[in-house]
Chains A and B, each alone.
Chain A
């Protein structure tokens, strides 16, 4: 009974999440510049983690379990338009308000990449922001997590090898 009740609630909740995801793919108010917002709820990645074998892929399971929710904003179009400037300025303010530490910056003629993270000092990543602004496309990825850096490094090493 308890199991059925749990799964019913889980199914309802995940349906709700998917509706929100679909509803948030929005906005086409300007022919030149279009924006897209995708929200990946933390419960989704946690749900995926349930299907991963802890013995075979412990790092991947941990990463998915503690990855948390993701908010992805994409801007596509004319980098000189007023909408583009307004939106990217708003993104920058949003990231600034989170008081994240700069980790890395890459800049060339028409591309700027910023990687920032909130590091509480216990070997975990609390918040992170990844901002890419190129000529024609800009992406802001914001996330909250409780990722253990040690396990993340192991996963990256495993994937790259």
Chain B
């Protein structure tokens, strides 16, 4: 392979990687944009927290199951809009905006659940055959939930997280058992 071909190949790979990273950054920007704003609550669980729990080995079967699920995670970001008493943002509109934006930037739709007036959408971002991010969007008349789970994710193990982490919105992960 000639030198200019090598340079071209490296540039293509580099731009590809930068492009993927930029796509992911777009959603991070969305997360940052609403941080601390009226009606919004954000939670960020860092990779260090997951590392901490993945190191623990016990004889407890339930704990080991959860620990296995946790060990594949590299971070969780949660954004919740509770619009009771606040009309600044429309939860349904936000849900539509985020889901269409995510689909535009290589997030694939995995599952949609309609539960009464609540819409729940699961989206995934894959790298090769590995799921690197799962997005969970919940849209209803009075609230909007955006959850991003990052890491090397096995969907079968993910549902066990909802039982261990008592966080609003994560209970929808149980829907993945049906998938």
Judge whether B13 is part of the interface by a CB distance below 8 angstroms. Answer: no
Q: Contact between A103 and B52 (Cβ–Cβ < 8 Å)? A: yes
Assuming the contacts A101-B48, A102-B48, A119-B48, asked whether A107 and B36 have C-beta atoms less than 8 A apart, the reply is yes
Given contacts A109-B36, A109-B37, contact A104 B49 (CB under 8 A): yes
- The one of A103, A108, A157 that contacts B41, using a Cβ cutoff of 8 Å: A108
Interface size on B, residues (CB 8 A): 22
Q: Which residue of A lies closest to B42 (CB)?
A: A107
A16 at the interface (CB under 8 A from B): no
Q: Which residues of A contact B57 (CB under 8 A)?
A: 150
Q: What B residues does A50 contact at CB under 8 A?
A: none
Within 8 A of B (CB), among A88-147: 101-109, 112, 117, 119, 123
Q: CB within 8 Å of A: which of B34-78?
A: 35-46, 48-49, 52-53, 55-58, 60, 63
Central interface residue in B45, B52, B53, B58, by most chain A CB within 10 Å: B52
Q: Closest approach, in angstroms, between the C-beta of B110 and any C-beta of chain A? A: 27
- Interface residue? A153 (CB, 8 A): yes
User: Is A154 part of the binding interface, using a Cβ–Cβ cutoff of 8 Å?
Assistant: yes
A149 interface residue (CB < 8 Å to B): yes
Q: Enumerate chain A residues within 8 angstroms of B60, measured Cβ to Cβ.
A: 154, 157
**CA–CA, A109 to B55, complex, Å?**
35
